[in-house]
Structure 1
Amino acid sequence: MRSLLVLLCCVGLVTAQANFVAVNICEGGRADIGCPAGQVMVIQRAYYGRKDPSKCPGKNTNYTECEATNSEAYIKNACGGHQSCYLISTNDTFGRDPCEDTSKYTHVEYYCHAL
């Protein structure tokens, strides 16, 4: 019985990985993100700032220690458990500029879960 539970667990994780989506929205951009009908988003990781110098070219891209403190909670609230959501990648959306003079982006990692 114990082996069966582990197997079911692992198959579920593989399925979730197969449906995994990662989205980057450059600063000033807007995007609709979502899942097919009958499914909702489960947010795994999200932030507004800069952690990867190769994403969204712009000013001071080598500075990668930047994240708006409330950004993950905001995105989970706006998108988690919903079929789709509309995100605007700006300082105003997340309440402040987490790293001045640096180009930022919104990063969201999620998978779709059947209702």
Structure 2
Amino acid sequence: AVQISKKRRFVADGIFKAELNEFLMAKNGYSGVEVRVTPTRTEVIILATKTQNVLGEKHRQIRELNAVVQKRSGFPKGSVELYAEKVEESLRYRLPGGLVAVLRQ
């Protein structure tokens, strides 16, 4: 395995997340992305108000996104998994701006 410094890893992770955000911004209902890295795989959770738009018909769109992310990022096949998670519509506008969302009942 190739060793890279913490500084380079931090920058590489930031660039990866920024590219994902830019790529997914066009999706209807997109509100953010969360990346979890484990030793065996990388999980990308797409936060959206309309998860069906992210998944696509018969989950076709999410599979295409998975292939694009793997190819663009240079990950080995099968090491990246994409998921769509539903977020409330009111949170959609608060999350990208970094504002803390307070839920009141």
What TM-score does the superposition give when structure 2 sets the normalisation length? 0.28
More strand by share: 1
Relative contact order higher in (CA < 8 Å, ≥ 6 apart): 1
Q: Highest CA radius of gyration, 1 or 2? A: 1
What TM-score does the superposition give when structure 1 sets the normalisation length? 0.26
